[in-house]
Structure 1
Amino acid sequence: MTIKPYPLQFKAEMKERIWGGRALEQFGLELPPGVIGEGWMIGDHPNGITSVMNGPLSGKGLDEIREGFGKEWFGENGYKENGRFPLLIKLLDCNDDLSIQVHPTDSYEGLPPGELGKTEMWYVLDAKPGAKIIYGLKDGIDRGAMEEAIREGRVMDTMQEVPVEAGDAFYIPAGTVHALCSGVLVAEIQQNSDTTYRLFDYNRPGLDGKLRELHIEDSLNVIAYEGAGAARMKTDGVKPGEWLTIASSPYFIVEKGVVEGSLKLSTATDSCVILVIAEGEGSLNWEGGSQTVKAGECFLLPATLGAYELDGSMTVLRSVIPSPTA
């Protein structure tokens, strides 16, 4: 059976987290009971595989799509023989502070078997007045200073706090100490990894009533004390029809675009395209099809889709997978 390429929309995998809430319901997403911190919108990971919910491939998991259509749909940059889809796309509802954490690089010897490192980026969809995040270490904090702060129970004294507003973008390379704090709603584009090392968790119990595990030694090992290239950006100057690169890494390139009316675009054969509708609504049109889109929805456009059009009034995040040598 031949299936023409079309934009794939997936049923989100919802994850209960101690710091979550119910804010993802505002996007029309179906939430199970409990405090939901993460919606895995596009995932191909043992801890969450999303399934297509539109078109002729409805019901198929992203892993099945990968196996069935391979390089043709994912592009040579997005397809790896016997490997998972390289990115994981999430929406995060931070109703409470997340743990202070750090992620390893791909080369860290302590990685769980089969797992990757984790470089990621955040785009702030919404932020309550006074919202902040933890983003990197204060100047002069080395491993010795961090170990001393941990022994003395003053880890928070080593951290930089940064105020955030809707529209802020943060690039978080592996090795960067970070934490989202209460009152923010975030779109996250990241390496396809579920490895997080907790450095500090406010001495609070988890969902099971017990203190959550910390990973002190791993955290100390993987922190980039001299910095890993983290970068932040205000993005509110994007004009309709323009695209602003808000994160660029070996794993993903993310751009922010503003659509007012019709915007004609095209995929390239080297990578599929991921669209996250950050604000507004409209339609996504391609040869042989059209679909209404709105804030909170995510789509995977096969590399061979070719020409497509965004029409309406909306803010869009567009992600591609760069060449390994880019």
Structure 2
Amino acid sequence: MKPYPLQFKPQFKERVWGGRALEQFGLTPPEGAIGEGWMISDHPNGITKIVNGALAGTGLDVLREQFGAEWFGKNGLSGKSQRFPLLIKLLDCNDDLSVQVHPTDDYDKLPAGELGKTEMWYILSAKPDAKIIYGLKENVTREQLAAAIESGQVMDQLQEVSVKAGDAFYIPAGTVHALCSGVVVAEIQQNSDTTYRLYDYNRPGLDGKLRELHIEDSLAVIAYEGAGASYVDTSAMQAGEWLTIAESPYFKVQKGLIASDAQLTTSKDSFEIIVIAEGEGNITWGEHHEQPVQAGQCFLLPATLGVYSLEGKLTVLRSTVPAAE
């Protein structure tokens, strides 16, 4: 089997905070408030299947079993779960998400087989005055935060940040955070579905009941001195430039602006994930092979693909997995 850029059928998730904005990418989510499109996933809560080429219909879990060691590269499997290491999402935040935090891999109360969750956000679009919650205010302690939760004043302890299209946020495990209404986001994260809710605005969920909070777990995993969260404003980028916008032990993400074409090469160390943030064009590889691409589409490029080109007027997120330290 010769490697080629793999596209997957998204797994859509209805969320109390979701909407219909993912339709702007030509996607066809089911009816309802759709908050998440899991674009590339090897998680038991949503396995995506290939929709293009010779492997159409094959799940990412099956692909891992058949070709993982070769196609994913030597860095390309999660050591703890042995699943594909990343989960790629598009998020439609029609309303505020819960205030939440994720654990690290070594948290002793993780569900069996589950990982911690370090992630990054790239803001695809943002309404005027859009914002996110991004960490605690300076010098907030566990005791202060617990008291604020008890008294219903937790929002007073959180840092709000205004956002615009093109902003990138790195969110290591232990960072308190929440996307707020009016943003559409590409999320690149560890392959995990573990979230601890600290606060949810006392609103009912889709079933009409208050959603579960996880106060003790949240207080236990928060990095009160900061986990190394960082922000990159990419608005000054020029055509032809590649800028690293997030770097962690789990992923490295670069943003590229392509005016006509860019020739790139995969490494035997890692697969690549290509997220088309804006524009349309083609991926070309091998002897005259071509895959049309457009905004909102995501592709898994096997480590053995080799030389390929991105052609067109494109804004691209390119993700790889670094070597384990």
User: For this structure pair, what is the TM-score category when the shorter chain's length is used for normalisation?
Assistant: over 0.9
1:270 is aligned to 269
Q: Residue 118 of structure 1 corresponds to which residue in structure 2?
A: 117
Kindly state the Cα deviation for residue 53 of structure 1 after the two structures are TM-superposed: 0.2
| Secondary structure, aligned partner of 2:73 | helix
1:321 aligns with 2:321: yes
Per-residue CA distance 1:25-50 (angstroms, 9 max, x = gap): 00000110100000000000000000
Q: What pairs with 1:102-251 in structure 2 (closer than 5 Å)?
A: 102-251=101-250
Residue type at the aligned position of 2:50: V
Count of residues in Structure 1 that have an aligned counterpart in Structure 2: 323
One-letter amino acid of the counterpart of residue 58, structure 1: A
Query: Secondary structure, in 3 states, of the residue corresponding to 1:75?
Result: coil
Deviation at 1:314, TM superposition (A): 0.8
**Amino acid paired to 2:244:** T
Distance 1:184 1:324 in 2: 33
Aligned to 2:72: 74
Give the whole-Å Cα distance in 1 for the aligned partners of 2:113 and 2:267: 30
Q: How much does 1:74 deviate?
A: 0.2
List per-residue Cα deviations over 1:238-292 (Å, max 9, x = no partner): 2222210000000000000001111111101000000000001111100141011
**What is residue 260 of structure 2 aligned with on the other side?**
261
Provide the rounded CA distance (Å) in 2 between the counterparts of 1:269 and 1:242: 24
Q: Alpha-carbon deviations, 1:179-222, whole Å to 9, x = none? A: 00000000000000000000000000000000000000000000
Match of 2:11 in 1: 13
Structure 2 stretches lacking a partner, 5+ long: none
- Residue 307 of structure 1 is matched in structure 2 by 307
Distance in 1 between residues matched to 2:299 and 2:150, nearest whole Å: 46
Q: Deviations over 1:108-129 (max 9, x none)?
A: 0111111000000000000000
Rounded Cα–Cα distance in structure 2 between residues aligned with 1:79 and 1:156: 38
- Normalised by the length of structure 1, the TM-score is 0.98
SS in 1 for 2:201: coil
Q: Distance in 2 between matches of 1:76 and 1:238?
A: 32
CA RMSD of aligned residues (A): 0.8
Task: Give the counterpart letter for 1:274 in structure 2.
Answer: I
Give the superposition deviation at 1:79: 2.6
Q: Residues of 2 paired with 1:287 and 1:171: CA distance?
A: 34
Q: CA deviation at 1:236?
A: 1.5
| Residue correspondence of structure 1 range 43-82 to structure 2 within 5 A | 43-80=41-78
Write the distance in 2 (CA, Å) between the matches of 1:141 and 1:167: 29
Report Cα offsets for 1:150-191 as digits up to 9, x if no partner. Answer: 111100000000000000000000000000000000000000
Distance 1:94 1:248, change over 3 A: same
TM superposition shift of 1:80:
4.9
Residue 295 in structure 1 maps to residue 295 in structure 2: yes
Unaligned runs of 5+ in 1: none
Match for 1:303: what amino acid?
A
> Which structure 1 residue ranges, 4+ long, deviate > 6 Å from structure 2?
none
What is the percent sequence identity of the aligned residues? 70
